[in-house]
Amino acid sequence: MARVALDARLTRQMSVGMKIHTQALLDRRALFAPEIELIPCGHGENFGFAEQLQLPLDISRSRARLVHYPTQYLPLLRPVPYILTIHDLIHCRFAELYETKVAWYYRAVVAPAARSAQRVLVDDERSIEDCERFLGVDAARVRVVPLGIESAFLEPVDVPHVARPYLFYAGNHREHKDLPTLLAAWAALPEGIGYDLVVTGADDFGDLRARYERFGRRLIALGDIDEATLRRSYAGASALVHPALWEGFGLTMLEAMAVGTPVIACRDAVPHPLAPASVTFGPRDVAAVTRAIVSLRTEPDAWAARVAAGRRAAEELTWDRFVRRIAAVYAEVLAL
């Protein structure tokens, strides 16, 4: 049995998607057997003593033949051949949205690490070109492993009764998520289309409410919610609208499709497996978002076909299948 060490830390620096990805590997360690033993390593936060000194020591003690770093936060000392996952390169694509030190980190740490990796894993085909462009990685060493979904999202869910129909956005409120485009498109809906807009996360809209709440429509922030509430929120929505300028994969779109919710999203954010089931629009195209929302009522048959396609895609993209694809990459590198 070949030993593979996994940087198993779940840190504050990691996004929700990164944590879900790493946890999926940890929860399904048994699926790697009998050829591979996955050994969790590491503790502590990013950019500290534990990451730079203790993690390499833990990896050395594991006697692993290969290491998997599931995020771009990794030690400078890497004593064992490794695989690196790059979920997205949003910080490089939209460098102007981030501090200068972020660009430095990608140039000085992430790019050399990616070029030295045995393989670079990405969530979708769209990221291959970014790995070449921003990190200088040979595309021949990149492997695409789509993310997956928890089985709970594929189970029947009680659709909550809602007094008013609503559109749903699930995610954080960072600049590249482009919530202003969603708000403007929602505000531009004709008076007779009375969707509320429900979003996850903090109510940080302030004076924007006065600008965008029209015709009695409400903007509702749910705060942090658990998975069960998230599932019900998807299921009760008339559509998930995802205006982000870019996503490595976009788990929220997959989760929405799994429960049968229509998905409207920026074309640059939609991964290849979900594109046929989505209605897409160009980045920051407010008018196109508004038209897509209106089409929920004017094109019911077309939307029914997309919803069915989304459900089929979700049934294929499970975390078990994801882990088996990861195991195949490990085996490729280890020549098992």
pLDDT of residue 310: 97
> Cβ(292)–Cβ(238) under 8 Å?
no
pLDDT digits (tens, 9 = 90+) for 40-88: 999 889 999 999 999 999 999 999 999 999 999 999 999 999 999 999 9
Domains of the chain, CATH where assigned: 2-148+318-334 (3.40.50.2000), 151-316 (3.40.50.2000)
- pLDDT value of position 183: 96
Cβ-based neighbours of 133, under 8 Å, separated by 6 or more: none
Residue 327, pLDDT score: 97
pLDDT score recorded for residue 336: 67
Q: What is the rounded distance in angstroms from the CA atom of residue 102 to the CA atom of residue 329?
A: 29
For the beta sheet containing 142-144, the strands, ordered from the edge strand earlier in sequence to the opposite edge, are 36-41, 2-7, 66-69, 82-85, 119-122, 142-144
Which parts of the chain sit beneath pLDDT 70? 336
Q: CA–CA separation, 57 vs 134, rounded Å?
A: 30
Q: What pLDDT is recorded for position 219?
A: 93
Q: What is the predicted pLDDT for the residue at 212? A: 86
Q: 186-199 as b/e, with b when 16 or more CB fall inside 10 Å? A: bbbbeeebebbbbb
pLDDT for 163 equals 82
Which runs of E-coded beta strand occur in the chain? 2-7, 36-41, 66-69, 82-85, 119-122, 142-144, 166-169, 196-199, 219-221, 239-242, 263-266, 278-281
pTM for this predicted structure: 0.93
